[in-house]
Structure 1
Amino acid sequence: MRNGVLPNGESQSLYYSDDHPTMPGYFKGMSRILEEHGFIEEAKLPASCEKFKCKDSKASCCCRQVLYNQPDFVGQKSALVELIEAHGHLVIFYPKFHCELNFIEQCWGAAKYDYRRLPLTQNEAQMDANIRQCLDNVDIVKMRRFANRSARFMDGYQRGLTGSQASWANKKYHGHRVLPESIMNDLEAAKVV
């Protein structure tokens, strides 16, 4: 990780210097880094909350959360972004899509499922033939079903459903292209949280 920035603007090394008497080149630790930042009381907090589950992302409940809320840590770019920008290019990371929203992922999944059920191949030509056969097994009817399934998930998420609610609604209304207007009442009646 790169150096941090102290409140006075100086660079803050996250590692002890190579000539340190007891810990040359070792990571300083979160509490020491916080002390150098001027957070004396926060440095006495536990390293992290239980199972890294902080109740509030802006709270000062543990050293880890206090560090994560510091501007020099939050605003740090990854090495990949810095490398790309150094070459004069713009970096845009798209959010990760859930596979249930992309029917092509479901088509790949169906082909992989078929392929895994086949016996082991003896050579590359046989493997190539098996792959092509498994891809051909995902016919247009299955693709349309996967597309409808994706549309139902999108419709559910647009209506504010959680992942488990959208999954339940997708199973219940698998013959529909979109979810009915009464979906919220149906979820409440079925006690799906």
Structure 2
Amino acid sequence: MGWSHSSEKATPQCKGEGPSLMISDMLTSEWGQLQHGDKCVSQFAALHEIMLTAGKNQDGYFSALDLLKHVEHSINIFEDKTNGFTTGLFMFDNAPSHQKQAPDALSAWKMPKRPHQNWTHHKDGPHMWNSTFNSQSQEFYYCDDHPTMPGWFKGMETIFREWNLWPATGLNAQCEGFKCFYFHWPFLYANQSAHFISAYVQGLTGGKAAWANHQYHGHHTLPPSMILKVKEALRKD
């Protein structure tokens, strides 16, 4: 990795096997790297230039919890640098680890229309926190001493009715015919086919290729390290 002039053209290079270099840092338009004195974000012990072999069957991934620790450390550095007199705006891309919500965050995803005894947004998760409408708080769950539904989720209809927003004609929980095309199935098939083609090209056949594809779910081609794992496993057998 290096710097090049904007007029230079990039030459495509084959992706090689090896650890993925993961660097977690905060950059600012005015100061460059976010730092204050001898404190800088990349010196955060748990996140300093993380190097790992990313993957489900490898070293895992940089998680949302890691990101939260990083942001907390970044805010502390920002507060020290500005003496608490400046408001900072931290911006992130839409990577999955940046989209995680609190376990009890509000969400209408798969919310039932009717009251439900055990419904939570996440299986065995906590109750969602209260919502706010017209500056007034609203609980989504009945109180624990409710005579017939203690602690139950109220359901969307009841939530609307409590604000007199439920129309006389009623509402569907979702639009009629709301069926999306499962576009990911063709992509999964294409990706798996590419894996098998890569395995065949590198000398694997039949069950060997199937075993390698079961172990590796990354890019379209099997890395040389995976081929070596297959051959080592066969030698042990």
TM-score by length of 1: 0.27
Task: Tell which has more relative contact order, 1 or 2 (C-alpha 8 A, sep 6+).
Answer: 2
More strand by share: 2
Question: Which has a greater percent of helix?
Answer: 1
